[in-house]
């Protein structure tokens, strides 16, 4: 019996994700519907706030009138739009993206809308429609696109163009996919709500298949500074990156390559580095041997005189915007937030932000309500495997901060950087990296201390109010007795009016707690 020869061939990126849609988050109809909304909204926000534009985002999901389990998703933004020549590949070529630079973005793998379109093509078989106009474009372009899976290239089904008489700029994506709204509904609603928390500067309108409309209006026009592209840090390079950088550099001397292609390295430090490790500063980097390249990478990683990676290219939300967002959406009685100083993870700057919200409209629960974000993206799945969950559920003793569960407590954790240690391609949980875990814990403890002080002050004010209420009860009787003893003309005392006047004095002194209390009788009821 003769052995059958193995057949070998390569597959395109599109075919790879066609065969392995689960690793991109499209494991089942419910998860796919959620993932599709998430990917398209991320693209819309990156096209707006990442370029300094206050976002107006419209999201719609409609049931197909004929095909069961088919949903038509539409996401429209007012972003920078896409130049006409790039529209087909931007939506029809997997791993073709503007995000393959060292810059903080919501998207990471260049999948985004392409994976949504590919999944829709697999399950429904209809082309996606893209309508876009770049800023100052005199025309609006429309493409109906499918993806050639074997060749990883767009198939243009039809194209349209018309005058841009209104000056609109932005992008609208319409795609039909197989989904399960009943199972995905809560996740999608949570995703939109949590997105609104960290983008209080955005208008977001969401129309559901049930005809419900959720509107999150802009409550501030302050927008985080857009992220900027940055150069690699010497501690974050590997052999392949060095080869790529050398192949693309215009520097003809090694000292110029080190000082020009890396962040935070000047001529003096570059020369000191090269001299210490025995490199010729005048040598052409393109002539380095394999052994010299390996030595260069090792030296770059261990040289400790390079400045720490800069973080000015990152775009954190900011403590004030976090507080505005938490107040606007959760309506708590107490809120605080902190943006931690940058730390370094594998040669990349990371910034951790933490917010806390307590009381008010937050419903008491047996566990902390954890709002997780990475580069402003809400993370809703795999919560228990995330490092932030470990911190709030295991590392923190909440009783020390005056919290007894069930409690109305929410914690927001945001991690931003150009290299986020996700646990999987689905980008739903953060790995337990010690430096990040420490930053989250320090941030949580910092805002928890603020809450502890607030609760202690509130408890003290409650004690003072109890005393004040007791005094108010006896003031009319004391006044009458004093009038008798002093033989003053008896004047009828309006007890209610007197109690209210005294209450106003108490309210003036303890105004923070009494803001929502209109009479001393409310205090008695509240205390009892």
Instruction: List the binding residues for ATP.
Output: 43, 77, 98-99, 107-114, 427
Residues at the binding site are 43, 77, 98-99, 107-114, 427
- Give dist(CA 464, CA 493) in Å, integer: 26
Q: Centre a 10 Å sphere on the Cβ of residue 247 and count the other Cβ atoms it contains.
A: 9
Q: What are the CA-CA distances from residue 381 to residues 39, 46, 325, 518 (Å)?
A: 15, 22, 22, 43
The sign of the torsion formed by the CA atoms of 487, 491, 492, 494 equals: negative
Instruction: Report helix, strand or coil for 384.
Output: helix
User: Measuring CA to CA, which residue among 28, 34, 169, 143 is closest to residue 91?
Assistant: 143
User: Measuring CA to CA, which residue among 90, 92, 88, 97 is closest to residue 147?
Assistant: 92
Q: Centre a 10 Å sphere on the Cβ of residue 241 and count the other Cβ atoms it contains.
A: 12
Cβ neighbors of 412 (< 8 A, separation 6 or more) are 197, 198, 322, 326, 337, 353, 354, 355, 356, 357, 371, 373
Q: Is 281 exposed, middle or buried (0-12, 13-18, 19+ CB in 10 A)?
A: middle
CB half-sphere exposure, 45, CA atoms < 13 A: 29
User: Measuring CA to CA, which residue among 130, 171, 172 is closest to residue 154?
Assistant: 130
User: Measuring CA to CA, which residue among 440, 364, 442, 441 is closest to residue 408?
Assistant: 364
**Which secondary structure element, helix H or strand E, spans residue 391, and what is its range?**
none
Q: What are the CA-CA distances from residue 215 to residues 179, 268, 414 (Å)?
A: 23, 55, 23
- Give dist(CA 120, CA 113) in Å, integer: 10
HEC readout, 65-117: CCCCCEEEEEEECCCCCCCHHHHHHHHHCCCCCCCCCCCCCCCCCCCHHHHHH
Phi, psi of 130, deg, nearest 5: -120, 125
- Give dist(CA 383, CA 405) in Å, integer: 19
- Give dist(CA 433, CA 427) in Å, integer: 15
Q: What are the CA-CA distances from residue 507 to residues 70, 510, 522 (Å)?
A: 58, 5, 12
Contact 152, 15 (CB under 8 A): yes
- Give dist(CA 162, CA 84) in Å, integer: 12
- Give dist(CA 405, CA 398) in Å, integer: 9
User: Measuring CA to CA, which residue among 435, 436, 371 is closest to residue 409?
Assistant: 371
């Amino acid at each position: 019996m003769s052995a059958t020869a193995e057949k070998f061939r390569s597959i395109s990126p599109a075919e790879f994700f066609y065969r392995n849609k689960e690793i991109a988050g499209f494991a089942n109809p419910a998860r796919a519907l959620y993932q599709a909304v998430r990917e398209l909204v991320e693209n819309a926000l990156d096209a707006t706030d990442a370029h300094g534009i206050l976002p107006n985002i419209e999201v719609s999901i409609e049931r197909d009138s004929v095909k069961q389990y088919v949903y038509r998703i539409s996401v429209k933004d007012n972003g920078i739009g896409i130049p006409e020549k790039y529209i087909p590949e931007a939506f029809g070529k997997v791993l073709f993206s503007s995000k393959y630079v060292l810059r903080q973005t919501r998207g990471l793998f260049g999948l985004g809308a392409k994976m949504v379109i590919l999944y829709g093509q697999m399950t429904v078989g209809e082309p996606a429609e893209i309508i876009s106009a770049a800023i100052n474009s005199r025309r609006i372009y429309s493409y109906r696109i499918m993806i050639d899976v074997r060749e990883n290239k767009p198939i243009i089904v039809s194209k349209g163009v018309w005058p841009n008489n209104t000056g609109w700029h932005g992008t609208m994506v319409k795609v039909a996919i197989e989904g399960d709204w009943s199972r995905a509904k809560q996740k999608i609603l949570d995703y939109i709500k949590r997105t609104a928390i960290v983008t209080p500067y955005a208008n977001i309108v969401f129309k559901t298949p049930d005809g419900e409309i959720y509107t999150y209006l802009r409550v501030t026009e302050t927008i985080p500074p857009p992220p900027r592209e940055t150069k690699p840090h010497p501690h974050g390079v590997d052999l392949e990156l060095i080869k790529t950088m050398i192949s693309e550099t215009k520097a003809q001397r090694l000292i110029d390559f080190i000082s020009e292609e890396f962040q935070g390295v000047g001529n003096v430090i570059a020369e000191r580095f090269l001299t210490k490790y025995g490199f010729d500063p005048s040598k052409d980097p393109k002539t380095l041997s394999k052994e010299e390249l390996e030595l260069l990478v090792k030296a770059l990683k261990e040289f400790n005189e390079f400045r720490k990676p800069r973080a000015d290219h990152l775009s954190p939300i900011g403590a004030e915007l976090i507080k505005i967002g938490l107040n606007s959406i959760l309506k708590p009685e107490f809120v605080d937030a902190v943006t931690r100083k940058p730390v370094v993870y594998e040669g990349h700057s990371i910034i951790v932000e933490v917010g806390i919200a307590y009381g008010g409209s937050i419903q008491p629960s047996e566990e902390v309500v954890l709002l997780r974000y990475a580069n402003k993206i809400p993370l809703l799945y795999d919560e228990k495997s995330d490092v932030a969950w470990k911190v709030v559920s295991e590392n923190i003793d909440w009783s020390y901060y005056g919290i007894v569960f069930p409690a109305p407590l929410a914690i927001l954790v945001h991690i931003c950087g150009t290299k986020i240690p996700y646990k999987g391609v689905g980008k739903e949980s953060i790995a337990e990296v010690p430096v990040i875990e420490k930053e989250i814990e320090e941030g949580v403890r910092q805002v928890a201390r603020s809450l502890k002080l607030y609760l202690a002050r509130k408890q003290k004010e409650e004690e003072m109010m109890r005393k004040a209420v007791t005094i108010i009860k006896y003031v009319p009787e004391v006044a009458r007795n004093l009038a008798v003893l002093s033989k003053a003309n008896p004047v009828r005392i309006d007890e209610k009016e007197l109690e209210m006047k005294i209450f106003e004095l108490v309210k003036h002194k303890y105004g923070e707690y009494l803001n929502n209390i209109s009479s001393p009788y409310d205090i008695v009821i509240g205390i009892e």
